Amino acid sequence: MRRLHGIVPVLILLWVAAGAAGCGGGSANVQPPPPQPDFSLTLSPSSVTLTQGTTSTAVNVTIAGQNGFTGTVQVTLSGLPTGVIPNPASPFSMNAGASQAVIFGADSSASTGNATVAAQGTSGNLSHSASLSVIVQPGTPPPALPRTTFARTDSVPSLDAPPGEPRRRRIVYDGARKHVFVANPGMNRLEVFSAADGSRAGQIAIPAVTSVDITADGSAIWAGTGDEQIVTVDPAQLAVSARYPVSGLTPLPNTVFNRPVEVLALAGGKGIVRLRRPDAATSLLALWDPATNSLTDLTSLAPSVFKNGAGVMARSGDHAKVLVAANDSSGEIALFDASGSLLVGPTAIGIGSIALAAANSNGSAFAIAFQGGNGEEVILLDAALNPLHAYGVALARGLAFSRDASSLFVSENADMPPVVTGARKSKNQTKPECSSGLQIAAWRLSMARSLQRYRPLHPHLARRRRWRRPEDLR
């Protein structure tokens, strides 16, 4: 009995404990804390190979939000070989759910061999990384060709003219110093060449540079960028003189335009800016005042033009007027003055898209490359944006008026090889198809020659294009 008496309390305690556990008591009901918002960073592909003096294929950096993460992640690239430059420049910011294509450029003296590049993504206290293998192989020196043939920049066509985005002004000439400035986004620099002998006069490091223009008085070079800044360069010293941070404009909630991808200098000191969204190819038109570093949205002046964003732009040689086209198939255009006021328009050329635009020296004539119901055409416009004539082209690549405004040159790829077509005023007009006094002459351009080396074909071989009458354009 004594032994049984000692066992009973133990059995009772075990029964109580088992009952409590079976009834869901104690700590069994405590729920674990919810997972915290986070993100992942991935690279695809995980390795790239490039040769000295070339650029790599694109590496896609992807930020995936987890558990409701919606923040912004700053991505920093470290461990790059000497002479290898990423585009966009490191560091750069990305939103959750976004993917950014990064291209690496290696200069001709870049360190060769294998390197491991770390991509570190940081957002507050959160941090994740991924590794990229970069292999730089020795390059073949460029052929020893005379500078009159070409000037090498190692530019990347897909960055010079990104697919789905309007063309932008990437080359400008400083007549006072005889320098040609070229925006080279693929190598994150502004190239400077001497117009006297074609030699390289300098290189100016500007991350994500996208456009270039010269002020009306020639005292400064303005560079637009894919970053949040506008950069000015001293053309005499060939050095950066100022950087203007761009906070951007927010016309709609949660929609910011803060990438000044194209900046055109106007008479009076202000500039017309095409501001791009960081997460889309859509842009708006703004007036920039460098004195106060302020931006004014010009959308309300021509809303029909900017329904789908601002398209290609062309500044007159006197910096007094800017032609702006719609970035869609509406064919809408508008003309602004140096103060950002609307001069002419909006007006519709027709149903179609405008890929190129040019203005003459004083804004009395403009030209556009128009893709519409009649195929691709170059259309000549007067100062009031009235169509004067249309010229059928094949894959127009560039438009330019001569300095004296007497000629319009069209670079086109017609049935190979490329040609440059010049339309010029004629004193003794005899051709019935050129009622405005414009004659057409074409020059065949060898792929290995510069523009200075073209020569006219024999007259009976010259390409002849028909300019249609204004009434045919409607």
35 has a pLDDT exceeding 80: yes
Beta-bridged to residue 239, according to DSSP, are 234
Peptide bond into 207 cis (omega under 30): no
CATH code of the domain occupying 161-301: 2.130.10.10
Q: Identify the DSSP state of 140.
A: P
Percentage of residues in the chain having pLDDT higher than 70: 79
In CATH terms, are 38-137 and 161-301 the same topology? no
Helix H or strand E segment including 16: helix 2-22
Domain ranges of the chain: 38-137, 161-301, 349-474
pLDDT at 400: 87
Rounded CA separation 122/75 (Å): 7
Please tell me the distance from the alpha carbon of residue 380 to that of residue 382, in angstroms, as a whole number.
7
Residues forming a β-bridge with 118? 78, 131
pLDDT in tens, 296-350: 999 999 888 888 889 999 999 999 999 999 999 899 999 999 999 999 989 999 8
Query: What beta strand segments (E) does 221-351 contain?
Result: 221-225, 229-234, 239-245, 249-252, 255-257, 259-265, 271-276, 283-289, 294-297, 310-315, 321-326, 332-337, 342-348
Percentages helix, strand, coil for the chain (3-state, rounded to 5) are 10, 50, 45
* Fold designation for 38-137: Immunoglobulin-like (2.60.40)
pLDDT score of 21: 44
Inform me whether the pLDDT recorded for 39 exceeds 70: yes
Question: Mind listing the pLDDT tens digit for each residue in 422-471?
Answer: 555 444 333 323 323 333 333 332 222 222 323 332 232 233 333 333 33
Q: Which residues of 283-316 are buried (b: 16+ CB within 10 A; e: fewer)?
A: bbbbbbebeeeebebbbebbeebbeebbbbbbbb
- The confidence score (pLDDT) of residue 415 equals 47
Supply the pTM of this predicted model.
0.64
Please give the average per-residue pLDDT across 236-240, as a whole number.
Answer: 95
What's the angle, vertex CA 315, arms to CA 313 and CA 318, rounded to 5? 175
What are the residues whose beta carbons fall under 8 Å from the beta carbon of 463, sequence distance 6 or more? 414, 419, 421, 440, 442, 457
Taking a C-beta distance cutoff of 8 angstroms, is the pair 410, 398 a contact?
A: yes
What phi and psi, each to the nearest 5 degrees, are found at residue 233? -125, 140
- pLDDT tens for residues 244-274? 999 989 988 888 999 999 999 999 999 999 9
Averaged confidence pLDDT in the chain: 79
